Amino acid sequence: MIGGCTLVEVKTLDSTPEPAQKKIASYLLISGDEAILIDTGPKTAWRVLEPQIESEGVALKHIIVTHIHLDHAGAAATIARSLGSVEKVFVHPRGSKHLVNPEKLWAASKQLLGPFADYFGKPDLLPSNKVVVPSDGEVLELLGGVRLRIIYTPGHASHHMSILEEDSGLLFSGDSAGISMYDDDGEVRLDFPTTPPPFKPKEYLESLDKMARLEPKSIAFGHYGVLNGEAVEFLKRHKKEVIRWIRVAVEYASRGGGDPDELARILVNSLPSAARAARARSPIISEFMFRGTVLGLLDMAVRGEGRGV
């Protein structure tokens, strides 16, 4: 049990496509013999995720995706089609059409992610009658008593929402509070922003403040696992760290810089958190996550955003 919740048991499931492990997390909320899945991982991880759900002996009733990026929602349609028990898939209003028809999402992902798009897989089409769009601040009451507050948290993506399990104070942050996980050696803890293009710095920082005001007790990260306790303190620290990364990118762009490789080197030389991310053993971290963060920061700075942060 995570977060001390009495009404629901929360289990961390590994939804990382093989052969990697423990880089992408899904969370199973169990109440009685029914369950809710928060984030599905990519489509290619379903064969890894399915036996983990089956082993719990529960009927999966609902799916909630924090946002529609392939590594968080790519398997949503596959799961909904595979398991007849799934009734609803909850998604931000800006993302709902891309779950129903993922063609534009897939094209954009191929362009940005390169080979990682194929590693994650092209999402299936989700039947529109299963899609539910919750409002910002809405409290979903599911499975006879599980209360989940929806929090719109744009910045990482315009279609991002985080979820607070109200009884335990466990915040499912997706990518809205960055990355906090171990490298492949299991020894080095990596905490750094995840800011792919089109990154919106003002919205990202406002989302961190918004989550902190709700005073969560713990955080369940999309990448990867749960921080028990000191959740508000983490959000405040992360905000300061994001600002450091933004300022480095803005200063670089102000000198006419526009090379992502050069910006990556500057970040590595300026910030210990960037150096740890760039030198991670796992290519999912160093080549997918860190690279995406650099591209988003550069795009932001070249557009003229981030000044005055």
SS (H, E, C) the chain: CCCCCCCCEEEEEECCCCCCCCCCEEEEEEECCEEEEECCCCHHHHHHHHHHHHCCCCEEEEEECCCCCHHHHCCHHHHHHHCCCCCEEECCCCCHHHHHCCHHHHHHHHHHHCHHHHHHCCCCCCCHHHEECCCCCCEEEECCCEEEEEEECCCCCCCCEEEEECCCCEEEEECCCCEEEECCCCCCEEEECCCCCCCCHHHHHHHHHHHHHCCCCEEEECCCEEEECCHHHHHHHHHHHHHHHHHHHHHHHHCCCCCHHHHHHHHHHHCHHHHHHHCCCCHHHHHHHHHHHHHHHHHHHHCCCCCCC
**Predicted confidence (pLDDT) at residue 1 exceeds the cutoff of 50:** no
102-118: pLDDT as tens digits: 999 999 999 999 999 99
Q: State the pLDDT at residue 42.
A: 98
**Predicted confidence (pLDDT) at residue 3 exceeds the cutoff of 60:** no
210-269: pLDDT as tens digits: 999 999 999 999 999 999 989 999 999 999 999 999 999 999 999 999 999 999 999 999
- Entry pTM: 0.94
84-104: pLDDT as tens digits: 999 999 999 999 999 999 999
**Predicted confidence (pLDDT) at residue 187 exceeds the cutoff of 90:** no
Q: Which CATH class is domain 9-226?
A: alpha beta
User: Mean pLDDT score of the chain, rounded to an integer?
Assistant: 95
Confidence of residue 44 (pLDDT cuts 50, 70, 90): very high
**Predicted confidence (pLDDT) at residue 7 exceeds the cutoff of 90:** no
Q: State the pLDDT at residue 5.
A: 43
